[in-house]
Amino acid sequence: MFANQQGASMVDASGKLQLNSQAYLNIMNFLNRVRMENLGTRAAYFSPGDLAAIDADQVAFYPWAVWAVYGADLLFKKSKGKWRAMPLPAWTKGGARGAVMGGSSFIIPKKAKNPHLAWLFYEHLVFSKEGYSAVYGPNKIYPGGINTSLPSYLPALQTQLYKNSDGLGGQNLWDVATGTVKDIPGNYYIAPWYNQAVPYFGTNVQRMLDGQMTPQQVLQKSSSDIQTKLVDRQ
């Protein structure tokens, strides 16, 4: 998320590794400063410890994707309704305040009996007003609609599809989320080995948060390991 916000990703369009870069150094320096100034919590996302800290008002800033709203709506207890969503703080003056963090994909299995019909169904859900309104709008299962993502079809963003969030004190999350779309850099690339990089990059980030590595060491070692153990083996 932080990398995409700066117009970067672990690889470029040709698949060349670009982890050891200024954008990622900015991120490591930020995380390391949070550690040194004792301003952050160390807990798995929405784990019991994380939720306890949130409901004890020990957390004030939670940079995450829009789908984190399900925590405010469904998991938070004492702090429910106190939270508000906002665009990400910019890394530089006038810089982007939006980013992607993950995404969704439709898959039609090779053995599908009628793949063309499956495609027509997906096409209806994504590109027709009736379809995307049914996906995101209020229904029996989701009375307020699904507010944990946005349609990828720009015309679908012109009309609010889900209700305001109770977890965010009735805030209009739709306006906040759709307002950042134009700000999201579009040059984000995911390498085929992306998930396999966790033992190399993620582990080193944890070591930095333990005070065992510097930001520069994290990027240098992670880049070297990923290049030799993942990229060169493709």
| pLDDT block averages, 10 residues each, the chain of length 234 | 95 94 97 96 93 95 94 97 96 94 84 94 96 95 93 95 97 96 90 93 96 98 96 84
Q: What pLDDT was estimated at residue 105?
A: 80
> 128: which 2 tokens?
């027709």
User: Count of alpha carbons within 13 Å of 55, Cβ hemisphere only?
Assistant: 16
Check residue 186 and give its pLDDT: 87
Please, which residues have CB within 8 angstroms of residue 32's CB and are 6 or more apart in sequence?
Answer: 208, 209, 214, 215
CA 25, 30, 36 angle in degrees (round to 5)? 120
Dihedral sign computed on CA atoms, order 50, 214, 29, 223: negative
The per-residue pLDDT for 198 is 94
Handedness of CA 73, 74, 76, 77 (dihedral sign): positive
pTM: 0.89
Separation CA 217–CA 29 (nearest Å)? 11
